[in-house]
Amino acid sequence: MSPSTREHSTAQVFRYSAEQLKETGQTNILAAIAQLSPAVTSSPFGGIGGNGLNKTMQLRNLGADQTLMLVNGKRRHVDANFNYFQSGPNYGTDPADLSLIPMSAIDHVEIITEGASALYGQDAEAGAVNIVLKRNTKGGTINLQNSGYYVGDGQSFDGSADYGMALGRNGGYLNVAAQIANQLSTNRSGDYLGNLYFAGDPRNQTANRDVQRIAGSPRTLLETVSTNAAYPIGHGLELYNTSTFAHKDMVQAQTYRAYSNDNVIRSFYPDGMQPQALAEEYDFQVDNGIRARNLLGMQWDAYVNYGRDSMKTQITDTDNPTMGLASPTTFNTSLFISTELATGLKATKIFHSPSLPRPISLSYGFEYRYDTYQVGAGDEASVLDGGVPILDGPNAGQMASAGAVDKFGVPKEAGGTINRGIYDGSINLDMYATKRWEWTFGGHVVSYDDVGTHPTGSVGTRYNFSDHFAIRANANTGYRAPTLGEQAFFAETTYPTYRTAQLPVNSSWAKALGATKLKGEQSRSFSFGVDATLLPNWTLTANIYRISIADRLFNTSQFGGSQVESLLSGAGLPGVLYASYYSNPVNTTTNGGDIATAYTLKTDRLGTFQFRFAVNIADTQISHYNSTPSILAGMGLTTFNRTNKEYLLHSAPRNIENLTVLWNRGPYSIRVQEQRFGSYTWVASPSLQQSQWTYAGPSYITNLELGYDILQKWHVAVGAYNLGNHYPTKANSASRAALQNAFTYAGNSPYGFNGGMYYVKTSLKF
């Protein structure tokens, strides 16, 4: 794909302009896309622990990393943070984070809802998202927005700007954009259940139980900058550069530990301990190249791209109980770094055939990528067993679990760097058999150092019965290799007497539990669609699709018990009672369909009305379970239990509907949107039985924006997201009790659980 991707082709392309993105009132691109397209979900709350550190999106109800992310048609590098914690819709994924790009830099967004790895690149099993940046040669914008939640917290200030200028006199350009967003935290946790102090302590009856803070959005400071430039150098050649940089600081409350908890050094925290996770992320990508519109009869593009994402984590307001009074209260726990270097050549040649009504377009490309992933160890105190017993209380003299409470550091044994080389070749053919009948054929071969060589193919066709009606059909195969982060990520969480761990799949620890080398996913997808212009001002598109994925990559169930602890201890990882690792546990099949229609009504006196309706339905089922390793089966354990099945299949709604009405008359504008989210399931803890899960029913959300042009280039607006202050289904009593009532609402709600949000904003064009 490129800045000139065709909307009317054999593949379905949804295009959203910068103005449409602004209308949503959202200040990050993923939230804006999710409000515009029912095929996309992007939960405001990513999950507990590390899952809440990155913004993710799901396309057609598949995983966040099963959509190819592009900027100006170039592959975006993946995050360093792997979403390992068993919560949230992004569980078990390692995608790219497009929210690290300034909103003010974006010209438009293209969403390709075809699983066509052969056409667009590996990983495009659900489709692809292409962010196209501005290429203006003059002028710019300044945007300011202030928002907050009805409850009174989560205040946010967002400022962004962009400016374009000409480079030279032959069509060159430079666009610079920046955005800064400062959001305060929210909290929707319930009052703590159970004893805050030891049994029999009268303070249990009078103490303030509003002590939990984990159920909410983290405090976040995000700073992003981008440039997009091109400079003609003669003979049809053009140098270009696209660069993005982002810095993000986050503070996220973790699980509250009561005074009675033996992980608490009580002289440090006489009223209990509320650990805070700190994360600092640096992200950048630089794409450089030289391209030609017509050189030797071809369009071509030679490029070198480099992207890097680093995530440093700390835990503060905590302790290591085995160090006693010598324990620090802040620990460096990990450093993760992901990089991708890519260099390649892409070319397009137009052929004329006397037997065909239109020219043939042949595109081909070659690329080499080099990926690395680094795991940095935490400081010594974060993993140390200091040997100091519990200092006081009824269990004085016994041993608590070692390491930093809540976030055990990465041990040196788990540290290191892995890498791989990737050779990528593709060829695509676009032709018209008749004036109205278009065909596309694609072939792709990718060879990985670690998982071998994998070809994929694609065939698509479109028949235009007239200028107003066409049908489309596509058949594709796809492949997605496991990311290096999915293979090497390590994390531990500390509880009073034990720890849980996410194990690197190639480690001796995971192998002790039956882990084998990861395979990539193989996918097949089929789709049929209709494009129609029913009236000059009324358009309709409709699609049905089927996506089958073999050896789907996902986290295993969390294995636990004394035998698991013994095996891990024998492999050199003592104190871990529950563990999981990445694997290929199942095959899945997704069946779905979508409809999008828009109608514009222009009146002489009442202004212009635009009506939009869109719906997406996607149902994923497991078609096959791969065998459980014998060592686990012998302990009565399974690789993929009912809990993981629910995380995979029902953490996001199967269907979403959007109805939007826009009205403009002179300087006035109104946007009203009604969204319906289908049902989903929230599993608060792996320990819960199926009967104790929370089943969230359908929800309706109203969004409203009122706008006014003070001057031709000065616009102000007020609006609300979730105008009616609707909250998701309340968690049932078992779900609340499993987490000490920390979550009173379903934690994976597609529209969050913070309630209504208001905003005021202004934008100035110059």
* 495 HSE (CA, 13 A, CB side): 10
Question: Per residue in 217-227, pLDDT tens?
Answer: 999 999 999 99
Give the residue, 407 or 340, on which the prediction is more confident. 340
Relative to beta strand 58-59, strand 67-71 is: unpaired
Q: How confident is the model at residue 4 (pLDDT cuts 50, 70, 90)?
A: very low
Give the total number of structural domains in the chain: 1
Rounded CA separation 140/165 (Å): 9
* 757 HSE (CA, 13 A, CB side): 24
| pLDDT for 703 | 96
**DSSP codes, 630-689:** HHHHTTT--SS-HHHHHHHHHSS-SEEEEEEEEEEETTEEEEEEEEEE--EEE---TTS-
Cα–Cα nearest to 519, from 490, 489, 480, 558: 480
Is 2 inside any structural domain? no
Is 4 inside any structural domain? no
Q: Which two tokens stand for residue 224?
A: 């992003």
Whether residue 323 has pLDDT greater than 50 = yes
Most distant CA pair in the chain: distance in Å?
A: 94
Question: Per residue in 659-696, pLDDT tens?
Answer: 999 999 999 999 999 999 999 998 888 888 888 999 99
Whether residue 94 has pLDDT greater than 60 = yes
Rounded CA separation 621/641 (Å): 14
| Residue partners of 533: CB distance under 8 A and separation at least 6 | 467, 468, 469, 539, 540
Rounded CA separation 626/647 (Å): 17
Q: How confident is the model at residue 123 (pLDDT cuts 50, 70, 90)?
A: confident
Whether residue 165 has pLDDT greater than 50 = yes
Check which CATH number belongs to the domain holding 703 and give it.
2.40.170.20
Domain span including residue 358: 13-765
Whether residue 6 has pLDDT greater than 60 = no
Give the residue, 296 or 5, on which the prediction is more confident. 296
> How many percent of the chain have pLDDT more than 90?
81
Handedness of CA 210, 212, 215, 218 (dihedral sign): positive
Whether residue 3 has pLDDT greater than 80 = no
Is 8 inside any structural domain? no
Quick one: three-class SS letters along 511-565? HHCCCCCCCCEEEEEEEEEEEEEEECCEEEEEEEEEEEEEEEEEECCCEECHHHH
Task: State the chain's mean pLDDT as an integer.
Answer: 92
Cα–Cα nearest to 749, from 644, 612, 656: 656
Question: Whats the size of the chain, residue-wise?
Answer: 766
> How many percent of the chain have pLDDT more than 70?
97
- Tell me the mean pLDDT in the region 355-366: 95
- Tell me the mean pLDDT in the region 71-84: 91
Is 103 inside any structural domain? yes
Is 6 inside any structural domain? no
| pLDDT for 48 | 62
Is 336 inside any structural domain? yes
Cα–Cα nearest to 86, from 587, 679, 682: 682
| pLDDT for 2 | 40
| pLDDT for 114 | 81
Handedness of CA 30, 759, 36, 664 (dihedral sign): negative
Rounded CA separation 750/222 (Å): 22
| 42: number of Cβ within 10 Å | 27
Is 306 inside any structural domain? yes
Rounded CA separation 594/592 (Å): 7
Q: How confident is the model at residue 437 (pLDDT cuts 50, 70, 90)?
A: very high
Q: How confident is the model at residue 51 (pLDDT cuts 50, 70, 90)?
A: low
Q: How confident is the model at residue 1 (pLDDT cuts 50, 70, 90)?
A: very low
| pLDDT for 102 | 96
Q: How confident is the model at residue 201 (pLDDT cuts 50, 70, 90)?
A: very high
3-state helix, strand, coil in the chain (%, to 5): 10, 50, 40
| pLDDT for 636 | 92
Give 575's strand partners: none
Is 676 inside any structural domain? yes
Question: What separation in angstroms does the CA of 736 have from each of 682, 684, 694, 729, 748?
Answer: 11, 8, 10, 12, 14
Q: Which two tokens stand for residue 536?
A: 């000059």
- Tell me the mean pLDDT in the region 502-524: 95
Q: How confident is the model at residue 92 (pLDDT cuts 50, 70, 90)?
A: confident
| 630: number of Cβ within 10 Å | 9
Q: How confident is the model at residue 5 (pLDDT cuts 50, 70, 90)?
A: very low
- Tell me the mean pLDDT in the region 235-255: 95
Q: Looking at 60-64, 253-257, 438-442, 626-630, which range is the least confident one? A: 60-64
Angular region, 3: left φ>0, alpha ψ -120 to 50, beta rest? alpha
| pLDDT for 362 | 96
